Amino acid sequence: MKDFGITDLALLCNSIKKINGLDNLTYLRELSLNLNFIKEIHNLDSLKKLRSLSLSGNLITKIQGLGHLTELEFLNISDNKITKIQGLNNLKKLKVLNLWGNQIEKIESLESLIDLRKLAIGENNISKITGLDNLKNLRILVLNDNNISEISGLNNLPHLKRVSFYNNKISIIKGLNNLEELEEISLRRNPFNADYIHKFNQNIKKKGITTSFYF
């Protein structure tokens, strides 16, 4: 593909199987390849100015080929077949990471994403909250539709404002005491009893935090 100063490119629903022909698009800032048949992330090294990359709804099994995209701020790899978080170490400017709808079992390898503001990792196979300690600038955390039974691992996230645990296995709420900037928490579709919810709501509302337990 010739370079005509293109900054935005969207190729959705085109039955694309491989990422090819983008080497000359050196001015590209936003690239969307959602809803194709891509299995591997590669041939993106020349896109040095890329700020946003979306690969949602493909057949990707491994996070790779992103090491040269050091200006990337938004990355969406939701609804793929990824089993492990990796290959993100060089993305130090990343602000939004969407890994929703994969097959990830462990939160890991996020240590270098020190500027991350939003992490969406719902609809995976996560049972324990780990690997978030370095994400000091995180504002939004979405862990819906996992297998989490205990809220933990959030104490070092001083700027966390919104967190969602919709449809997990949490029955007791703890691990939120150090979140002084927390504004909203969603705990719908977890196995709480009515008395517990009532007592928790009474305490949490005194702090000005919005909660939701029901549909």
Cβ density class 21-37: b for 16+ within 10 Å, e for less: ebeebeebbebbbbbbe
Task: Quote the pLDDT of residue 212.
Answer: 83
Q: Which residue, 141, 139, 92, 94, is CA-closest to 117?
A: 139
What totals of helices (H) and strands (E) does the chain contain, helices first?
A: 1, 10
CA geometry: angle 39, 79, 134, nearest 5 deg: 100
Give yes or no for a contact between 151 and 165, defined as CB atoms under 8 angstroms apart: yes
Task: Quote the pLDDT of residue 17.
Answer: 98
CA geometry: angle 100, 102, 139, nearest 5 deg: 30
Pull the structure tokens for residue 69: 């995209």
Q: 140-142 and 118-120 as β-strands: parallel, antiparallel, unpaired?
A: parallel
Task: Quote the pLDDT of residue 1.
Answer: 60
Pull the structure tokens for residue 44: 């993106």
**Boundaries of every domain in the chain:** 1-112, 126-209
Task: Quote the pLDDT of residue 215.
Answer: 46
Is 1-112's fold the same as 126-209's? yes
Q: Which CATH architecture has domain 126-209?
A: Alpha-Beta Horseshoe (3.80)
> In the chain, which residues have pLDDT < 70?
1-4, 214-215
pLDDT tens digits, 72-103: 999 999 999 999 999 999 999 999 999 999 99
C-alpha distance from residue 8 to each of 24, 47, 61, 92 (Å) = 13, 12, 26, 22
**CATH superfamily of the domain spanning 1-112:** Ribonuclease Inhibitor (3.80.10.10)
| Rounded distance between C-alpha atoms, residue 171 and residue 153, angstroms | 17
